[in-house]
């Protein structure tokens, strides 16, 4: 269960960074594109590892698979995320679509990306709710420190999501020759 939470948390962390990379890094477009692509790949791989670990844990402990809304949305998130990554890679990176396909795809890529992102945040909060409910049903204090910690972690996930969303709406930094770059 620890590796499940760890890899899914790290996956959300990379996802946040990947979505914000275009707006927060004072670098040239091709570098930002590469960072965006690689961070999304890391998030996707960690997400798959996290879900694999969840199934492994369930199977080894004789717990049923895929019975919760959280798990259904989780499968939806990872499938849509994989499709979004493959489409983005093929059209915007390699082999790359024609200019028309790129420019017509981009608004859809951004819209779909925002949708998958919000769904991932929602899924994660349901995961926290479910985990805490299990713990509270097995005796954890309802207003105890652990319960507060889990709920606040979920609230921080949501608040962070709001700021990531605002970052997407913001204007990108101007590209210039004087920006920071690797020495």
Residues that bind ligand HEM (CB under 6 A): 5, 8, 19, 22-23, 33, 36-37, 40, 47, 51, 54-55, 58, 65-66, 68, 70-71, 74-75, 77-78, 81, 84-85, 88-89, 92-93, 106, 109-110, 113-114, 116-117, 120, 123-124, 127-128, 130-131, 168
Classify each residue of 18-55 as buried b or exposed e, where b means 16 or more C-beta atoms within 10 Å of its C-beta. bbbbbbebebeeeebbebbbebbebbbebbebbbebbe
**With contact defined as beta carbons under 8 Å apart, do 114 and 168 qualify?**
yes
- For residue 50, the minimal CB distance to ligand HEM (Å) is 6
Of 169 and 183, CB closest to ligand HEM: 169
Residue 16: is it exposed, middle or buried by C-beta count within 10 angstroms (0-12/13-18/19+)? buried
Residue carrying structure tokens 């990306």: 113
Residue carrying structure tokens 């420190």: 145
- For residue 177, the minimal CB distance to ligand HEM (Å) is 19
In the chain, what is the straight-line distance between the N-terminal and C-terminal CA atoms, in Å? 42
- For residue 167, the minimal CB distance to ligand HEM (Å) is 6
- For residue 162, the minimal CB distance to ligand HEM (Å) is 14
Of 99 and 183, CB closest to ligand HEM: 99
Residue carrying structure tokens 């349901």: 126
Of 61 and 178, CB closest to ligand HEM: 61
Of 5 and 183, CB closest to ligand HEM: 5
Of 106 and 141, CB closest to ligand HEM: 106
Residue carrying structure tokens 């609230």: 155
């Amino acid at each position: 269960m620890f590796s499940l939470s760890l890899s899914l948390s790290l996956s959300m962390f990379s996802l946040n960074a990947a979505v914000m990379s275009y707006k927060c890094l004072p670098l040239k477009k091709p570098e930002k594109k590469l960072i965006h692509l690689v961070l999304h790949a890391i998030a996707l791989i960690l997400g798959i590892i996290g879900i694999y670990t969840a199934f492994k844990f369930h199977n080894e402990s004789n717990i049923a698979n895929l019975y919760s809304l959280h798990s259904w949305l989780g499968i939806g998130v990872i499938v849509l995320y994989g499709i979004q990554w493959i489409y983005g890679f093929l059209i915007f990176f390699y082999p790359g679509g024609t200019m028309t396909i790129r420019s017509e795809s981009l608004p859809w890529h951004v819209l779909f990306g925002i949708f998958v992102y919000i769904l991932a945040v929602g899924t994660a909060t349901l995961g926290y709710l479910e985990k805490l409910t299990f713990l509270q049903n097995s005796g954890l204090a309802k207003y105890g420190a652990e319960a507060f910690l889990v709920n606040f972690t979920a609230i921080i996930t949501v608040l962070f999501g709001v700021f990531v969303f605002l970052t997407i709406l913001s204007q990108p930094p101007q590209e210039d020759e004087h920006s920071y770059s690797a020495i």
